[in-house]
């Protein structure tokens, strides 16, 4: 028994040295393996592994650049970019976080099924926008949730301080800050910034933990300074909106031009829209009617026929024109006046707005001369203002005119213009016969113009227009306290399929002030006034009066209507 115990003890003792060898050998092998692995990682495969690591954690991050501001001539902002954040997700990371999807959908007021479907539909992608341009407070809440696969990205959102007052002129940008309408579209290249880029290191949760280097600095867009005066723009918008409501009109437009520079000080349209809230946007409210919509100008065309007659040399302001018995036959057609004005001189034809008188004058002139005068002041061609979608209007070549077409052209039918074109043509008269290009941009120096009407003739026509806007003319409601006003009304039957509507009108007034030294021109067009009055002198002229009164005072234009000048001469043709 004792002998067996001794044998077992000896046998155990004899095995232990072998185990030690195996154990030591294993430890040495493991150590050698670790050393080799360390050498491999740190020396042999260092470059490869470093590239692989950087590929997984070193990223190029875009730095957004804000769009340039749009400013009025006084430096007041009309369009600015504010920094916001957008929520984006990595579907590959978010797909397994169901509780996170539910919480995120609730926070962003999104349907949970929509978020799940979005993640499932783009399961193979690493970047999908979930919600763009959220408020800073909401962005902080998203960030605090720290949901795997949910991230925030800095962007810029466009804001329009003037709102609907200048909406159709300024236009707007889309969600990616690209101009879609108006001057935002026309000057997109000028306003657009160039994004920058930097190299960063991100952790496994895509959080930036270190900026490595700047690759390219962001370049903000350039500011655009407009000729628009926000004060006059607001004034014109307010008065046009009031007139549209008062007369139950379908639409309306107004343009205010600086005679000396051709700069557009105000351009407004009704109805308008709020570019800061486009959820209920209607397509028809987007267009800038003052440059895209054409209409027949009616009697506002008559001053240019008279200018042509004066330049032709056959007429003077005192030349007599017989308008009795108040109608005149042209072929099978009859031209009529509202009243039988009898014998008028040329000034009286403008003052009374006689269709018969202006028709007889036009028919006595060469068609080519009339066409040359009208095309010279800008009819039939776009103003080259640079506004997207600007219409050219219509002025048929004189070679295609028949006698009745010459007659109707004389009082503004068979020709079409935009409100801006009409304003430019009146600015040509106000500028002494020099036509200057119109512009939306604020410029220190006035552009050179070209003479299209003799200075003396332009002044004679302005004198006639002053009578037309006086007590015995068609637009006494256009008067402005303290200033001499010159202008012309137009009351136009709207064209419809098969002819002209008998109960649908355009009410127009085009005028300038102060008449002694014209500074501003304004055109007002009201489409389909439906509450009684429809004459241009009753609907459009009062808008001109109120806006012009405020604009002249805002620009500190000295009054020119002194007591001595109010009765400076007898109006010619008063006895008619």
- Residue ranges of the alpha helices (H) in 95-151? 98-107, 112-121, 136-145
Q: What is the DSSP letter of 283?
A: G
The answer to whether residue 14 is catalytic is: no
Q: Which of 253, 272, 299, 425 is catalytic?
A: 299
Kindly tell me the sign of the dihedral angle through the C-alpha atoms of 159, 165, 168, 170: negative
Q: Per DSSP, which regions of 294-372 are E strands? A: 320-322, 327-330, 333-336, 343-345
C-alpha closest to that of 395 among 383, 409, 385, 407:
409
Place of tokens 């009339």: 370
DSSP summary character for residue 360? H
Instruction: Please state, in angstroms and rounded to a whole number, the distance separating the CA atoms of residues 194 and 145.
Output: 32
d(CA 426, CA 485): 13
Question: What SS3 state is found at 252?
Answer: strand
CB atoms within 10 A of CB 574: 10
For residue 101, give the nearest of 120, 125, 126, 127 by alpha carbon. Answer: 120
Query: What is the phi/psi pair of residue 120, to 5°?
Result: -70, -40
Contacts of 543 (CB under 8 A, 6+ apart): 239, 240, 243, 254, 509, 524, 526
Residue 199's CB: how many other CB atoms inside 10 A?
15
Q: How far is CA 39 from the centre of its chain?
A: 67
CA-wise closest residue to 296 among 426, 391, 393: 393
Q: What whole-number distance in Å separates Cα of residue 540 and Cα of residue 242? A: 11
Other C-beta atoms within 10 Å of 408: how many?
22
Neighbours of 217 (CB within 10 A): 12
Residues marked as catalytic: 299
């Amino acid at each position: 028994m004792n002998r067996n115990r001794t044998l077992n003890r000896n046998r155990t003792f004899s095995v232990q040295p072998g185990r030690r060898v195996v154990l030591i050998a294993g430890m040495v092998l493991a150590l050698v393996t670790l050393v080799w692995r360390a050498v491999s990682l740190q020396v042999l495969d260092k470059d490869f592994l470093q590239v692989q690591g950087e590929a997984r954690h070193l990223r190029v991050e875009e730095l957004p650049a804000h769009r340039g501001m749009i400013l009025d001539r006084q430096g007041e902002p009309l369009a600015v970019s504010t920094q916001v954040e957008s929520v984006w997700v990595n579907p590959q990371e978010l797909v397994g976080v169901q509780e996170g999807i539910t919480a995120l959908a609730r926070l962003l007021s999104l349907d949970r099924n929509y978020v799940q479907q979005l993640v499932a539909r783009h399961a193979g992608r690493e970047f999908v926008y979930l919600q763009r341009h959220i408020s800073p407070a909401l962005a902080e809440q998203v960030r605090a949730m720290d949901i795997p696969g949910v991230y925030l990205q800095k962007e810029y959102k466009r804001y329009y301080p003037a709102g609907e007052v200048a909406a159709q002129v300024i236009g707007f940008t889309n969600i990616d800050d690209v101009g879609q309408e108006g001057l935002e579209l026309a000057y997109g290249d000028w306003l657009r910034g160039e994004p920058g880029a930097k190299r960063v290191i991100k952790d496994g949760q895509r959080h930036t933990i270190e900026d490595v280097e700047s690759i390219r600095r962001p370049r903000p867009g350039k500011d655009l300074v407009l000729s628009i005066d926000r004060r006059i723009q607001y004034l014109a918008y307010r008065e046009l909106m009031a007139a549209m409501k008062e007369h139950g009109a379908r639409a309306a437009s107004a343009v205010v031009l600086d005679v000396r520079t051709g700069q557009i000080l105000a351009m407004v349209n009704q109805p308008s829209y709020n570019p800061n809230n486009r959820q209920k946007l209607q397509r028809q409210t987007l267009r800038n009617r003052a440059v895209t919509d054409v209409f027949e100008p009616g009697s506002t065309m008559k001053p240019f026929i008279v200018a042509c007659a004066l330049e032709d040399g056959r007429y003077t302001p005192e030349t007599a024109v017989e308008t009795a018995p108040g109608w005149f036959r042209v072929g099978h057609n009859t031209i009529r006046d509202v009243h039988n004005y009898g014998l008028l001189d040329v000034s009286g034809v403008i003052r009374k707005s006689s269709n018969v008188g202006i028709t007889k004058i036009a028919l006595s002139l060469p068609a080519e001369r009339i066409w040359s005068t009208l095309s010279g002041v800008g009819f039939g061609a776009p103003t080259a203002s640079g506004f997207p979608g600007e219409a050219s209007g219509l002025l048929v070549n004189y070679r295609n005119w028949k006698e009745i077409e010459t007659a109707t052209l004389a009082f503004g039918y068979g020709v079409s213009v935009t409100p801006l074109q009409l304003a430019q043509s009146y600015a040509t008269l106000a500028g002494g016969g020099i036509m200057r290009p119109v512009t939306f941009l604020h410029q220190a120096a006035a552009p050179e113009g070209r003479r299209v009407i003799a200075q003396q003739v332009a002044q004679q026509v302005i004198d006639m227009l002053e009578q037309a806007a006086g007590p015995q003319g068609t637009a006494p409601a256009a008067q402005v306290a303290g200033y001499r006003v010159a202008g012309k009304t137009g009351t136009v039957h709207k064209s419809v399929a098969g002819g002209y509507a008998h109960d649908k009108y355009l009410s127009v007034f085009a005028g300038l002030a102060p008449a002694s030294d014209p500074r501003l021109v304004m055109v007002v067009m009201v489409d389909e006034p439906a509450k009684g009055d429809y004459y241009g002198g009753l609907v459009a002229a009062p808008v001109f009066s109120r806006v012009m009164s405020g604009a002249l005072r805002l620009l500190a234009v000295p009054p020119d209507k002194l007591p001595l000048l109010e009765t400076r001469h007898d109006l010619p043709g008063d006895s008619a």
